[in-house]
Structure formats: C-alpha cells, structure tokens
Amino acid sequence: MDRTCNLEEGLFERTLSTRDPSPEENIGALGWLAFSWFTPIVDLAFRRDQENGKLEPTDVYPLTRKNVAARQLERLDQHWQVELQKEKPALIKAMKRAFWKEVFGTAWVKFINDCLHFVGPFLLNRIVNFVNGVGFEGEEPLWMGYMYAIGMVLSSGCQAFLMAHYFQGGYQTGMRLRTGLILMSYSKALRVLPWATPPPKEEPQEQQPRRCCKKNA
C-alpha cells in the first residue's frame, strides 16, 4: 500500500513503507552514536530469517524529511538559480554551496579518526616502557599503567564508532547529491521537449436531464 508523506513546503513524496516514521531524527546522542534507531530493522530481519523469509520494501522506515528527493532538488535548484544570474554559471559551485555542510562534517569525522591512528602506537610504546621499567615511564605509579591500557581501548572504540559514522555520512551525502542532480536533469529535460506537450484532457461534464414543467391553466 502506498502512503504519501506531505512536506511542510507542500511537496509530496511517495513511499512503500507501512512503518511509523524513523526515530533517527528524534533520538538522543547515545542512540544516534550507537545506531539504536536501526535495531528494530535488524531484529525484524533476524525473525524473518528464522522463518525462511526476507525483508520487504514495506518493512523499512520511510525516508526522513532530510532525505526526501524533493528536498534535495529544492536545495540544489535554489543555489543553481543564483548561479544562473552570473555570467558563467557553474554547477559545481551550486553543488558546493548546497551540500558543503554534509561534506565538511564527514571529512572532519575522517580527520579525527585518522588522528586516533597515532594514539594507539603511542600508548603502546608507553605501556612497553612502563612494563620494562625503561625511561621515565618505569618510574611512574601503577595507576598510570592502567590509564595507558584504558586509553588504548577507548582509542580503538572511538575509531570504530567514527568509521561507522563516516561511511554512514558519506553514503547519505552521496545519495542526496545524486538525487538532486537526477531530479534537476529530469526537470530540465521535461521543459525542453522537442515536441509540443498535449494539453490535459478535460473530463466530460455530465448533462443533467431537463425537467418539463406544465403550467396550470
């Protein structure tokens, strides 16, 4: 069964999903970090697998307001109209202004993850020196050794979370950008058809039967 999701701007998006809206937009920080909004889908897929079944398009969440196709077209077209006012419009500039926040956020997550790659070897060197009693680490108290070990575990855990969100953000940004470009291309193609667009057909109006009224003499 198709359902229609109405946007605030009056645009419409159709979806095959019969589930309630995804809690992704309203979930807390810890839930967003651990992808807990996706847990019901995983549980349903596991139950379907036990029954020799599979997930159907109606089982997934409908698109959130940030990911609907009409919103991506609106964002990209808004900046493209600004470029058309210039002498040499450039589509790449419109794309940068429309999606730079998502790209910058994803790049920042990847930068932090790459920096954490150096934390593990650094702490491992401290732990080895602490155990062998070499350097100033050998004179440090016992609790510092535990701190080094905990730091290594936290560093590895943060890298796992950051890489998961890096891929999630990258795929999501690519989907939004690709959707905006495809819709804008189709919209332009429909406006430059090489043939005349036929006018909409008018529905025939039902003729009401005439009533004959006899006048009283």
pLDDT tens for 20-64 read 777 887 888 888 888 888 888 888 888 888 888 888 878 888 888
CA nearest neighbour of 94 among 81, 107, 112: 81
**Same domain as 162, residue 76:** yes
Same domain? 147 vs 118: yes
pLDDT for res 29: 82
Task: Provide the domain count of the chain.
Answer: 2
Identify whether residues 44 and 93 lie together within a single domain: no
Mean pLDDT of 81-88: 89
Are residues 12 and 88 located together in one domain of the fold? no
**Spatial CA neighbour of 176 closest among 80, 79, 75:** 75
Rounded Cα gap, residues 154 and 116, in angstroms: 10
Domain match, 115 and 130 both: yes
53/100 same-domain check: no
Residue 14: is its pLDDT beyond 90? no
* pTM score, whole prediction: 0.71
Please tell me whether residues 60 and 72 are part of one structural domain: no
The answer to whether position 30 is within a domain reads yes
Compute the average pLDDT of residues 205-209: 61
- Give residue 4's domain range: 1-65
Residue 118 lies in a domain: yes
Across 4-13, 20-29, 153-162, 208-217, the highest mean pLDDT is recorded for: 153-162
Please indicate, yes or no, if residue 120 is contained in any of the structural domains. yes
- Alpha-carbon distance of 15 to 64, in angstroms, equals 11
> Comparing 116 with 192, which gets the higher pLDDT?
116
Confidence label for 207 from pLDDT (cuts 50, 70 and 90):
low
pLDDT of 150 > 90? The answer is: yes
Q: Looking at mean pLDDT, say which of 1-10, 118-127, 165-174 comes out highest.
A: 165-174
Report the pLDDT value the prediction gives residue 158, as an integer from 0 to 100: 92
Q: What is the pLDDT of residue 188?
A: 81
Phi, psi for 31 (deg, rounded to 5): -65, -40
